[in-house]
Amino acid sequence: MSTRLFTRTADLYRRTVDTAAPRPTTSFEFVRQVKGGIRQRTTGSAFDAGLTLSEEWSFYLKPEDDDVVHGDQLDVDGERYEVVSKPMPAWNARSGLIHHYEVRIRKAGR
């Protein structure tokens, strides 16, 4: 993926859990904005056995944004997505350096 494709601005939210209350509550706190690219990996469909495949996307991050973790959320183009994988590096074969990171995301609330 070319760095020219890091054109989307996403708001990064970090999950926080308040355990002081009688019932733990989860909330999301804005961390910062990140630049990246998004691509759909799978689409929703139903199988004969009644199983449903949920939609999944890949979000590509610049090397300096490797602190995104599973459970974080990203707001991209007005849609909220949940990060479902740790950042996986993609290496540049010539330089041997990390070119970008890829995280799998899916629509939040599913």
List, in order of start, the domains of the chain with CATH numbers: 3-107 (2.40.10.370)
Average pLDDT for residues 50-59, to the nearest whole number?
Answer: 74
Residue 52 has pLDDT above 60, yes or no: no
More confident residue, 26 or 44: 26
Strands (DSSP E) along 50-93, which ranges? 52-53, 56-61, 73-76, 79-83, 88-91
More confident residue, 93 or 52: 93
Alpha-carbon gap, residue 104 to 96, rounded angstroms: 23
What pTM, to 2 d.p., does this model score? 0.78
Going by pLDDT thresholds of 50, 70 and 90, the confidence category of residue 3 is low
Going by pLDDT thresholds of 50, 70 and 90, the confidence category of residue 40 is confident
Residue 28 has pLDDT above 80, yes or no: yes
More confident residue, 6 or 32: 32
Burial 23-36 (b: 16+ CB within 10 A, else e): eeeeebeeeeebeb
